[in-house]
Structure 1
Amino acid sequence: MLRIASASLAGTAIEFYDFFAYGTAAALVLGPLFFPAFSPLAATLAAFGTFGIGFLARPLGSVVFGHVGDRYGRRPVLLGSLLLTGIATVAVGCVPTYASIGIAAPVLLLLLRFLQGLGLGGEWGGAVLLTAEHAPERRRGLWSSFPQMGPPVGFLLANGLTLALSVTLTDAQFNAWGWRVPFWGAGLLALAGLWLRRSVEETPEFRALTETGRRAEAPLTEVVRGHWRLLLLTGGALAFGYAVFYAVTTWSLSYATGHLRVDRTVMLACVMAAVLVQGLATPLLAVLGDRWGRRPLCLAGSAVCAVWMFPFTALLQSGEPLLITLGCVVALFGMALAFALVGAYLPELYAPRIRCTGAAVGYNLGGVLGGALTPVVATALAEGSGPPWGVAVYLTLVCLASLVCFALLPETNPALVRAPAETGTGAAEAAAPV
């Protein structure tokens, strides 16, 4: 299990490194380099718009790779998604700026960001099912938290490299070529990930489906026709985590460096400290989920974030590094209360024959609802000289909506309800249809 979970963690870390490298670049440099004819605000909004394209592509990626995972196995998903995202990310680092090739520059940026999102949309489902379907029932939350540690690790890698470049290079050097280095580094990481995953075995549950001839012919059709309400509820439930995470890691970085004149390296350090706490807390919270259930911690996480968004905004507005760090730490800890468990929770909601599609589409639908628009909406709401209370209102409403969705979902912990393995269905179907 440790070998399997480590391969899963490495893959998600590399995939999310690619995704977050773009988010950091969008917050710091892409606006003036690729949209120079726009005003500073419009350029930032345009850069975050290209950032959001990746989220719109993720559900499509989860459909494509989910079909592969449910029809042909979880293992091909792990290799194909990693290769696609790695190639697209390296290519982003090679795109000439607007000054060199004009309108073709942002068009290429949009296309490559779309391919990034396509690959990442497939990665999560394959990585999570690799661990969830190998793990023993009573430790499924813990082992399935390994892929969930991938995003914090990927973020720290991407932003750690950006921070090092920011410290060692002048602004002119960073804007000229330094921002490209994290994208080029994705190539080496992708090769390392493919090497780690080369010997990963297919999961027992998919082998059983193959042997009994119970693989889904059209998994997306089954999910949409039979479980569309469950799909919408899982997407709505996870939206708050995306909104909070990208408000902390992307929008606040842009807002603090642009409006509050906080030094770029200082703000990167504040955000990285919060993400480090999130990553360290994830396996510990997953153990609690194995003991107490998935649903109670998910409810607690969305509630904590709903209560914290106004204090977070006030602490960010202070411009003081320690207060900013405190605001970010509590926000991401609340998000981790839920997201530490979704690697086990979402697969348990769906039957094995449609699990790769259902879990991945639900997860990435949450990304569209909560992550795609948050940096754009927050940037627009924060325009002006006063504190950005409109951002706090927006984030609070998203958290409350997710709280309602979690309240409508069933518990799935096999220790507390009838296990999916005993019924041949997802826990949601066995316990109570949604």
Structure 2
Amino acid sequence: MSTDQSTSSSTPPESVDVDDDGSKELGVPRSRVVVASLMGTTIEFYDFYVYATAAVSVFPLIFFPSGDQGAALLASMATFGAAFVARPVGSVLFGHFGDRIGRKTTLIGSLLTMGIATFLIGLLPTYFQVGLFAPALLTILRFCQGLGLGGEWSGAALLATETAKKGKRAWAAMWPQLGAPFGFLLANGLFLILALTFSHDSTNPDMDGPFLTWVWRLPFLLSLVMVAVGLYVRVRLEETPVFRRAAANDERVKAPLSEVFRKSWWQLILGTFIMLATYVLFYLMTTWILSYAIGDPEQTGGLGVPYDDFLVLQLVGILFFAAFVPVAGWLADRFGRKPTLIVITGLLLLFGLTFGWWLSADSIGQGTDLNTMQMMLFLIVGMTLMGLTFGPMSAILPELFPTNTRYTGSGIAYNVSSILGAALTPFVATWLVQSYSVAHVGYYLAFASVLTLIALVLSPETKSKSLDSDSATIAEEIASEP
């Protein structure tokens, strides 16, 4: 298949081609769209990462107590994965309304779902108070978090891409992608401040101390304030011009889910595997690496690094994630989505093959003997690659689908990939370390990268395609690829 895809003369003009200060078609200043897409995903990812951090450092102690630390950590990781099962359900639910009634209203609903679930986690009783009801309630609310995020990402991506300037769609689409590193910085930065303020030591936790009795709840409860701010921004938006044109031309379908499976099933497969390696890398570099670094060397095969010491290193690494998301957006507009991602995914494969050298205890040390510079370089390299691979995703996935099923299609691809690449990753990686070695975690990433490379080779270049497109037009474009 070629890496270029041209639009025919009969194809409608680019989705939005307006001045920077807004136009009649866009309806609002472009800066408001940027803020709304960025703030919304930042809040959603903050909620998600607050849970991810607690799943490693708090929940194994107060929701899954066990004499075996390794078993408790695995149980907590399994609950962490419940949200990823919910995410495709959320993409179908919110995708239906996003394709039927509009992007704006649906995005408000997804934000409320996520925010309320996160707030309620902060009010839950622990295992020591209500027994097994505690992890059961935690799992239910984690599922609700997944529902909200399942509808959030695709809506924010469409908000950005369907209001983009001509030739700048990947740049516009990178703004919601910045919500991932920003949300991570907020969530983990807050946890770090609280851990330092209240003297929480992950290597020797005080079960009766303030951090594990009530302080851990604060990041969850504070999410309600952030949701209120996000709602204020989003209610002031206009519907995207692309959706308004589709509605005016009576192009909406009654059942977006059945439509996308009947006419865009191949794009669903491609989109799912295009995103796979990105998901695996991200949850290795955030959730799993935290559990590996602070884990007890004897019981979990970890490195025994104090939680607050390692979190500082991780937060520095996340800065490189944020810095390279815009770089990726520029590259994808300059060279195309397909060639850019093929090169980056090839680098992910090579990175995976080096995990044994980077992270084995013999190479990097343990506890106070940890080679801090080596760990820092590992995090910087991994997070740089994460920014490069994540940046173009909110452009390429929506571009694979027609207007009337774009919310549903891009959301399903993104979130089914989350099950394959994210829900399983922390659990599988933890098991691989305990059963084999840390090098095998890297082989897992390399395998996922191979699958993503295959999907990219089979996919069309979407840089120049119009977003004012129907299923027949996209099918013809894909079929025309040699």
Relative to the length of structure 2, the TM-score reads 0.86
User: CA–CA distance in 2 between the matches of 1:153 and 1:64?
Assistant: 26
1:405 aligns with 2:455: yes
**Map of 1:339 onto structure 2:** 390
User: Contact 2:294–2:304 (CA<8 Å) still a contact in 1?
Assistant: yes
Deviations 1:214-256 (A, max 9, x none): 1011111011122222212211121111111111111110111
Question: Residue 383 of structure 1 aligns to a residue in which SS?
Answer: helix
In structure 2, do the counterparts of structure 1 residues 110 and 316 end up closer, same or farther at CA, with 3 Å as the change threshold? same
* Aligned counterparts, 1:94-133, within 5 A: 94-133=123-162
**Map of 2:345 onto structure 1:** 302
User: CA–CA distance in 1 between the matches of 2:224 and 2:344?
Assistant: 35
**Map of 1:68 onto structure 2:** 97
1:205 aligns with 2:255: no
User: CA–CA distance in 1 between the matches of 2:432 and 2:44?
Assistant: 30
User: CA–CA distance in 1 between the matches of 2:333 and 2:199?
Assistant: 49
In structure 2, do the counterparts of structure 1 residues 231 and 314 end up closer, same or farther at CA, with 3 Å as the change threshold? same
For residue 429 of structure 2, the aligned residue among 372, 375, 378 is 378
For residue 369 of structure 1, the aligned residue among 392, 416, 420 is 420
* AA partner of residue 431 (structure 1): E
Deviations 1:69-128 (A, max 9, x none): 000000111100001100000111111110000000000000000000000000011111
In structure 2, do the counterparts of structure 1 residues 364 and 427 end up closer, same or farther at CA, with 3 Å as the change threshold? farther
* Aligned counterparts, 1:1-80, within 5 A: 1-37=30-66, 39-80=68-109
* AA partner of residue 186 (structure 1): S
In structure 2, do the counterparts of structure 1 residues 179 and 349 end up closer, same or farther at CA, with 3 Å as the change threshold? same
Alignment gaps of 5+ in structure 1: none
Say what the alpha-carbon RMSD is for the aligned residues: 1.6
Question: Residue 270 of structure 2 aligns to a residue in which SS?
Answer: helix
User: Contact 1:419–1:427 (CA<8 Å) still a contact in 2?
Assistant: no
Alignment gaps of 5+ in structure 2: 1-29, 201-208, 296-301, 365-369
User: CA–CA distance in 2 between the matches of 1:126 and 1:102?
Assistant: 38
For residue 282 of structure 2, the aligned residue among 245, 248, 251 is 245
For residue 194 of structure 2, the aligned residue among 165, 185, 197 is 165
Of residues 54-63 and 299-308 in structure 1, the stretch that sits farther from structure 2 once superposed is 299-308
User: Contact 1:16–1:151 (CA<8 Å) still a contact in 2?
Assistant: yes
Give the Å deviation of 1:337: 2.0
**Map of 2:354 onto structure 1:** 311
User: Contact 1:348–1:427 (CA<8 Å) still a contact in 2?
Assistant: no
Query: How many corresponding residue pairs?
Result: 429
Deviations 1:328-377 (A, max 9, x none): 22122223222201111111111101101011111111111100000000
Give the Å deviation of 1:213: 1.0
In structure 2, do the counterparts of structure 1 residues 427 and 379 end up closer, same or farther at CA, with 3 Å as the change threshold? farther
User: CA–CA distance in 1 between the matches of 2:116 and 2:472?
Assistant: 35
Deviations 1:140-194 (A, max 9, x none): 1101100000011000000000111111112332222222111111111111110
Question: Residue 251 of structure 2 aligns to a residue in which SS?
Answer: coil
* AA partner of residue 281 (structure 2): V
* AA partner of residue 466 (structure 2): A
Deviations 1:249-307 (A, max 9, x none): 11110111112111211211121112111111111220111111011111122211110
Question: Residue 237 of structure 2 aligns to a residue in which SS?
Answer: coil
User: CA–CA distance in 2 between the matches of 1:185 and 1:426?
Assistant: 47
In structure 2, do the counterparts of structure 1 residues 322 and 429 end up closer, same or farther at CA, with 3 Å as the change threshold? farther
User: CA–CA distance in 2 between the matches of 1:299 and 1:270?
Assistant: 29
User: Contact 1:420–1:430 (CA<8 Å) still a contact in 2?
Assistant: no
Of residues 26-35 and 170-179 in structure 1, the stretch that sits farther from structure 2 once superposed is 170-179
Question: Residue 275 of structure 2 aligns to a residue in which SS?
Answer: helix
Task: Report % sequence identity.
Answer: 41
* AA partner of residue 389 (structure 2): A
User: CA–CA distance in 2 between the matches of 1:82 and 1:214?
Assistant: 27
* AA partner of residue 162 (structure 2): E
User: CA–CA distance in 2 between the matches of 1:177 and 1:405?
Assistant: 46
User: Contact 1:222–1:354 (CA<8 Å) still a contact in 2?
Assistant: yes
User: CA–CA distance in 2 between the matches of 1:389 and 1:131?
Assistant: 39
* AA partner of residue 51 (structure 1): F
Of residues 50-59 and 317-326 in structure 1, the stretch that sits farther from structure 2 once superposed is 317-326
**Map of 1:151 onto structure 2:** 180
User: CA–CA distance in 1 between the matches of 2:82 and 2:219?
Assistant: 20
User: CA–CA distance in 1 between the matches of 2:44 and 2:233?
Assistant: 14
Question: Residue 138 of structure 1 aligns to a residue in which SS?
Answer: coil
* AA partner of residue 406 (structure 1): L
1:221 aligns with 2:258: yes
Looking at secondary structure, tell me which structure has more helix per residue. Answer: 1
**Map of 1:391 onto structure 2:** 441
Relative to the length of structure 1, the TM-score reads 0.95
1:257 aligns with 2:294: yes
Question: Residue 253 of structure 2 aligns to a residue in which SS?
Answer: coil
**Map of 1:191 onto structure 2:** 228
**Map of 2:27 onto structure 1:** none
User: Contact 2:242–2:467 (CA<8 Å) still a contact in 1?
Assistant: no
Q: Quick one: higher RCO (CA 8 Å, sep 6+), 1 or 2?
A: 2
1:419 aligns with 2:466: yes
User: Contact 1:14–1:190 (CA<8 Å) still a contact in 2?
Assistant: yes
User: Contact 1:235–1:362 (CA<8 Å) still a contact in 2?
Assistant: yes
